[in-house]
Amino acid sequence: MTTLSLSVNGRTLGPFEVRDDLTMNDFLREQLGMTGTKFGCGAAQCLSCAVIVDMPDGSSHTNPTCVVPAANFDGKAIRTIEGHAKDGVLTPLQTAFIEHFSFQCGYCTPGFLNEGQVLLERLEKTPVPRATLEAVIAEALDGHLCRCTGYVKYHEAVRAVILADAGRYLV
Ligand code: FES
Ligand code: FES
């Protein structure tokens, strides 16, 4: 057993006593009841299970949860799909996913949403030229698998959010 304390969507939780072999995905879904984080391949191949990890230096990245022990997240700050909308108000990226019909079953959506949000926050700090935007979006979303709609509509939704506020994300 291991002790686990962490921040989830801005709330400090723990300490919990967790089994050494408990995955972060099971911890979120079974122990915290936060089922928005999905379990797809279970082999770190699809990223439907990815959550955002916020680092002390202010940077953020996504991390799969299906093959990673919950104990590895001790002391970490993470964000999940449940943390995006505030008081029932969707974020611009969530709204864009809906408007662009980016998903059908939605199983991959939490991973894409977390990845897209990380990209938006990165571009806010380090804007990129418009000419590189398509490649920047493609690279950011690379690795996320979707069996329903393909990838174009997710890409288009992320692009739309960026172009709608170009002064914020582009140089
Ligand atoms: S379920 Fe974790 S990468 Fe597929
Ligand atoms: S919307 Fe079904 S897997 Fe992507």
Q: What confidence tens digit (pLDDT) does each residue in 30-39 have?
A: 999 999 999 9
What pLDDT is stored for residue 132 in this prediction?
Answer: 98
Give the number of the atom of ligand 2 that is nearest the alpha carbon of residue 104. 1
Name the average pLDDT for the chain. Answer: 97
| Cβ 73 under 6 angstroms from ligand 2 | no
Global pTM reads 0.97
Burial of 32 per CB tally in 10 Å (0-12, 13-18, 19+): middle
Kindly state the average pLDDT of the residues 27-54.
98
**In the predicted structure, residue 41 carries a pLDDT above the cut 90:** yes
Q: Which of 54, 55, 112 is nearest to 81 (CA)?
A: 112
Distance of CA 140 to the CA centre of its chain: 11
pLDDT at 122: 98
* 47 Cβ below 6 A of ligand 1: yes
Residue in 112, 141, 146, 155 to alter for ligand 2 test, most ligand atoms within 8 A of Cβ: 146
Segment 119-163, tens digit of pLDDT: 999 999 999 999 999 999 999 999 999 999 879 999 999 999 999
Q: How confident is the model at residue 111 (pLDDT cuts 50, 70, 90)?
A: very high
Q: Mind listing the domains of the chain with CATH numbers?
A: 2-83 (3.10.20.30), 92-169 (1.10.150.120)
